[in-house]
Amino acid sequence: MVNSQARVTNEKVLKMEDAIKSLGADEYLRLEELTSVRHEFVDGELYAMTGGTMAHSLITTNIGTSLKSQLKASGCRVYISNLKVRIDATNSFYYPDVLVDCGHYVKDKTFTTSPVLIVEVLSRSTAAIDQREKLFAYKKIDSLKAYIMIQQSRARVAIHLRGDDDTWTKQEVDKDGYFTIEICPGTNIKIHLNEIYDDCNLDADNLQVQEESAAYVW
Protein backbone atom coordinates (compact mmCIF):
# COMPACT_ATOMS: atom_id res chain seq x y z
CA MET A 1 0.00 0.00 0.00
CA VAL A 2 1.06 3.55 -0.57
CA ASN A 3 -0.13 4.30 2.92
CA SER A 4 -0.01 1.95 5.89
CA GLN A 5 -3.52 1.22 7.03
CA ALA A 6 -4.71 1.62 10.60
CA ARG A 7 -6.33 -1.77 10.36
CA VAL A 8 -3.88 -3.18 12.89
CA THR A 9 -5.73 -1.35 15.65
CA ASN A 10 -9.06 -1.59 13.82
CA GLU A 11 -9.27 2.21 13.63
CA LYS A 12 -12.59 3.03 11.99
CA VAL A 13 -12.87 6.36 10.27
CA LEU A 14 -16.21 7.82 11.19
CA LYS A 15 -16.63 9.87 14.36
CA MET A 16 -20.36 9.21 14.10
CA GLU A 17 -20.19 5.45 14.49
CA ASP A 18 -23.28 5.38 16.66
CA ALA A 19 -25.35 7.00 13.92
CA ILE A 20 -23.90 5.09 10.98
CA LYS A 21 -23.39 1.37 11.42
CA SER A 22 -22.42 0.56 7.84
CA LEU A 23 -21.95 2.62 4.69
CA GLY A 24 -23.05 1.83 1.19
CA ALA A 25 -20.70 2.31 -1.75
CA ASP A 26 -22.32 5.56 -2.88
CA GLU A 27 -22.14 6.99 0.65
CA TYR A 28 -18.48 6.04 0.85
CA LEU A 29 -17.68 7.80 -2.42
CA ARG A 30 -19.46 10.97 -1.27
CA LEU A 31 -17.67 10.92 2.08
CA GLU A 32 -14.30 10.36 0.43
CA GLU A 33 -14.74 13.52 -1.63
CA LEU A 34 -15.29 15.57 1.54
CA THR A 35 -12.40 14.39 3.69
CA SER A 36 -8.68 15.09 3.46
CA VAL A 37 -7.86 11.61 4.82
CA ARG A 38 -8.07 8.70 2.42
CA HIS A 39 -9.94 5.56 3.41
CA GLU A 40 -10.37 2.12 1.97
CA PHE A 41 -13.79 0.50 2.01
CA VAL A 42 -14.46 -3.16 2.81
CA ASP A 43 -18.06 -4.35 2.87
CA GLY A 44 -19.48 -1.26 4.57
CA GLU A 45 -16.51 -0.52 6.84
CA LEU A 46 -13.96 2.29 6.40
CA TYR A 47 -10.27 2.08 7.24
CA ALA A 48 -8.03 5.14 7.47
CA MET A 49 -4.68 5.25 5.70
CA THR A 50 -1.49 6.80 7.03
CA GLY A 51 1.73 7.93 5.36
CA GLY A 52 4.39 5.66 3.90
CA THR A 53 8.20 5.66 4.02
CA MET A 54 10.69 7.25 1.62
CA ALA A 55 11.58 3.77 0.33
CA HIS A 56 7.91 3.01 -0.28
CA SER A 57 7.44 6.21 -2.24
CA LEU A 58 10.61 5.71 -4.27
CA ILE A 59 9.79 2.12 -5.20
CA THR A 60 6.28 3.17 -6.23
CA THR A 61 7.66 5.95 -8.41
CA ASN A 62 10.30 3.69 -9.96
CA ILE A 63 7.90 0.99 -11.11
CA GLY A 64 5.29 3.54 -12.17
CA THR A 65 7.89 5.32 -14.32
CA SER A 66 9.03 2.08 -15.92
CA LEU A 67 5.47 1.06 -16.73
CA LYS A 68 4.62 4.45 -18.21
CA SER A 69 7.65 4.46 -20.50
CA GLN A 70 6.87 0.96 -21.77
CA LEU A 71 3.16 1.54 -22.30
CA LYS A 72 3.39 4.67 -24.46
CA ALA A 73 1.04 4.49 -27.44
CA SER A 74 -0.51 1.29 -26.06
CA GLY A 75 -3.81 2.90 -25.08
CA CYS A 76 -3.17 1.98 -21.44
CA ARG A 77 -2.58 4.49 -18.62
CA VAL A 78 -0.57 4.22 -15.41
CA TYR A 79 -2.03 5.62 -12.16
CA ILE A 80 -0.05 6.04 -8.95
CA SER A 81 -1.57 6.03 -5.45
CA ASN A 82 -4.70 8.17 -5.79
CA LEU A 83 -7.05 6.23 -8.07
CA LYS A 84 -9.36 3.77 -6.35
CA VAL A 85 -10.26 0.36 -7.73
CA ARG A 86 -13.82 -0.84 -7.15
CA ILE A 87 -14.47 -4.57 -6.72
CA ASP A 88 -18.17 -5.38 -6.75
CA ALA A 89 -17.61 -9.06 -5.99
CA THR A 90 -16.21 -8.22 -2.54
CA ASN A 91 -18.04 -4.88 -2.07
CA SER A 92 -14.76 -3.04 -1.63
CA PHE A 93 -12.68 -0.07 -2.77
CA TYR A 94 -8.88 -0.01 -2.49
CA TYR A 95 -6.14 2.46 -3.35
CA PRO A 96 -3.42 0.40 -5.08
CA ASP A 97 0.08 1.84 -5.07
CA VAL A 98 0.17 1.55 -8.86
CA LEU A 99 -2.38 0.33 -11.38
CA VAL A 100 -2.62 0.10 -15.14
CA ASP A 101 -5.96 0.53 -16.87
CA CYS A 102 -6.66 0.16 -20.58
CA GLY A 103 -10.33 1.16 -20.41
CA HIS A 104 -12.08 4.37 -21.36
CA TYR A 105 -10.55 7.48 -19.79
CA VAL A 106 -12.96 9.77 -17.89
CA LYS A 107 -10.99 12.66 -16.41
CA ASP A 108 -13.25 13.30 -13.38
CA LYS A 109 -13.81 9.68 -12.38
CA THR A 110 -12.35 8.71 -8.99
CA PHE A 111 -12.27 4.92 -9.41
CA THR A 112 -11.92 2.20 -12.01
CA THR A 113 -13.39 -1.28 -12.29
CA SER A 114 -11.13 -2.50 -15.10
CA PRO A 115 -7.44 -2.53 -14.12
CA VAL A 116 -5.21 -4.96 -16.01
CA LEU A 117 -2.29 -4.68 -13.59
CA ILE A 118 -2.11 -3.82 -9.88
CA VAL A 119 1.02 -3.23 -7.80
CA GLU A 120 1.28 -3.08 -4.00
CA VAL A 121 4.48 -2.21 -2.14
CA LEU A 122 4.40 -4.21 1.10
CA SER A 123 5.20 -2.91 4.55
CA ARG A 124 5.19 -4.59 7.94
CA SER A 125 1.76 -3.16 8.76
CA THR A 126 0.09 -3.99 5.41
CA ALA A 127 1.79 -7.21 4.33
CA ALA A 128 -0.91 -9.55 5.62
CA ILE A 129 -3.67 -7.45 4.06
CA ASP A 130 -1.90 -7.19 0.70
CA GLN A 131 -1.05 -10.90 0.58
CA ARG A 132 -4.40 -12.30 1.73
CA GLU A 133 -7.40 -9.95 1.72
CA LYS A 134 -6.35 -7.99 -1.35
CA LEU A 135 -5.00 -11.00 -3.21
CA PHE A 136 -8.40 -12.65 -2.82
CA ALA A 137 -10.28 -9.49 -3.83
CA TYR A 138 -8.09 -8.55 -6.79
CA LYS A 139 -8.43 -12.00 -8.32
CA LYS A 140 -12.18 -11.30 -8.54
CA ILE A 141 -11.55 -8.50 -11.07
CA ASP A 142 -12.33 -9.93 -14.50
CA SER A 143 -9.97 -7.59 -16.36
CA LEU A 144 -6.94 -8.16 -14.13
CA LYS A 145 -3.96 -9.92 -15.74
CA ALA A 146 -1.39 -9.55 -12.96
CA TYR A 147 -0.98 -8.57 -9.31
CA ILE A 148 2.55 -7.63 -8.23
CA MET A 149 3.69 -7.45 -4.59
CA ILE A 150 7.02 -5.77 -3.84
CA GLN A 151 8.99 -5.97 -0.62
CA GLN A 152 10.54 -2.74 0.66
CA SER A 153 13.77 -3.69 2.39
CA ARG A 154 15.14 -6.38 0.10
CA ALA A 155 14.98 -7.08 -3.61
CA ARG A 156 12.14 -9.55 -3.79
CA VAL A 157 8.92 -9.52 -5.81
CA ALA A 158 5.97 -11.89 -6.15
CA ILE A 159 3.86 -11.82 -9.31
CA HIS A 160 0.46 -13.48 -9.57
CA LEU A 161 -0.48 -14.04 -13.22
CA ARG A 162 -3.84 -14.95 -14.75
CA GLY A 163 -3.63 -17.44 -17.60
CA ASP A 164 -5.81 -17.74 -20.68
CA ASP A 165 -7.80 -20.48 -18.93
CA ASP A 166 -8.51 -18.08 -16.01
CA THR A 167 -6.22 -19.95 -13.61
CA TRP A 168 -3.61 -18.10 -11.55
CA THR A 169 0.07 -18.90 -11.18
CA LYS A 170 2.70 -17.34 -8.92
CA GLN A 171 6.20 -16.29 -9.90
CA GLU A 172 8.91 -15.03 -7.53
CA VAL A 173 11.89 -12.91 -8.53
CA ASP A 174 14.74 -11.63 -6.39
CA LYS A 175 18.16 -9.94 -6.49
CA ASP A 176 19.00 -8.73 -10.01
CA GLY A 177 16.31 -10.72 -11.82
CA TYR A 178 13.46 -9.52 -14.00
CA PHE A 179 9.93 -10.47 -15.02
CA THR A 180 7.73 -10.01 -18.08
CA ILE A 181 3.96 -9.59 -18.28
CA GLU A 182 1.61 -9.53 -21.25
CA ILE A 183 -0.80 -6.71 -20.42
CA CYS A 184 -2.92 -7.37 -23.50
CA PRO A 185 -2.30 -9.13 -26.85
CA GLY A 186 0.77 -7.55 -28.42
CA THR A 187 1.69 -5.46 -25.37
CA ASN A 188 4.40 -6.89 -23.12
CA ILE A 189 6.29 -5.21 -20.32
CA LYS A 190 9.66 -6.24 -18.92
CA ILE A 191 10.83 -4.94 -15.54
CA HIS A 192 14.19 -5.53 -13.89
CA LEU A 193 14.39 -5.47 -10.12
CA ASN A 194 17.31 -3.07 -10.50
CA GLU A 195 14.80 -0.57 -11.89
CA ILE A 196 12.34 -1.11 -9.05
CA TYR A 197 14.94 -0.64 -6.31
CA ASP A 198 17.00 2.05 -8.04
CA ASP A 199 18.49 4.48 -5.47
CA CYS A 200 16.89 2.60 -2.52
CA ASN A 201 20.22 1.65 -0.87
CA LEU A 202 19.16 -1.86 0.13
CA ASP A 203 21.23 -3.55 2.81
CA ALA A 204 20.73 -7.30 3.03
CA ASP A 205 22.41 -7.41 6.45
CA ASN A 206 20.24 -4.74 7.98
CA LEU A 207 18.21 -5.85 11.01
CA GLN A 208 15.16 -4.10 9.56
CA VAL A 209 15.24 -6.53 6.64
CA GLN A 210 15.12 -9.51 9.01
CA GLU A 211 12.29 -8.01 11.05
CA GLU A 212 10.28 -6.95 8.02
CA SER A 213 10.76 -10.27 6.24
CA ALA A 214 9.02 -12.04 9.09
CA ALA A 215 5.81 -10.28 8.10
CA TYR A 216 5.76 -11.84 4.63
CA VAL A 217 4.04 -15.09 3.82
CA TRP A 218 6.34 -16.20 1.01
Asked whether 213 and 153 are in contact (CB, 8 A), the reply is yes
Give the pLDDT mean for 30-37.
92
Quick one: 54-213 is in which CATH superfamily? Answer: tt1808, chain A (3.90.1570.10)
Answer yes or no: is pLDDT of 11 > 60.
no
The mean pLDDT of the chain is: 87
Q: Write out pLDDT tens, residues 80-107.
A: 999 999 999 999 999 999 999 999 999 9
Q: Assign 198 a pLDDT band (cuts: 50, 70, 90).
A: very high
Q: Write out pLDDT tens, residues 138-186.
A: 999 999 999 999 999 899 999 999 999 999 999 999 999 999 999 887 8
Asked whether 5 and 40 are in contact (CB, 8 A), the reply is yes
Q: Write out pLDDT tens, residues 122-142.
A: 988 889 999 999 999 999 999
Answer yes or no: is pLDDT of 53 > 80.
yes
- The SS3 assignment for 150 reads strand
pLDDT number for residue 23: 86
Q: How much of the chain exceeds pLDDT 70, in percent?
A: 83
Q: How many other C-beta atoms can be found within 10 angstroms of the C-beta atom of residue 31?
A: 16
- Of 198, 166, 208, 205, which Cα lies nearest the Cα of 63? 198
Residue 206 identity: N
pLDDT number for residue 125: 84
Residue 16 identity: M
Sequence ranges of the chain with CATH classification 3.90.1570.10:
54-213
Helices then strands (H, E): number in the chain? 6, 13
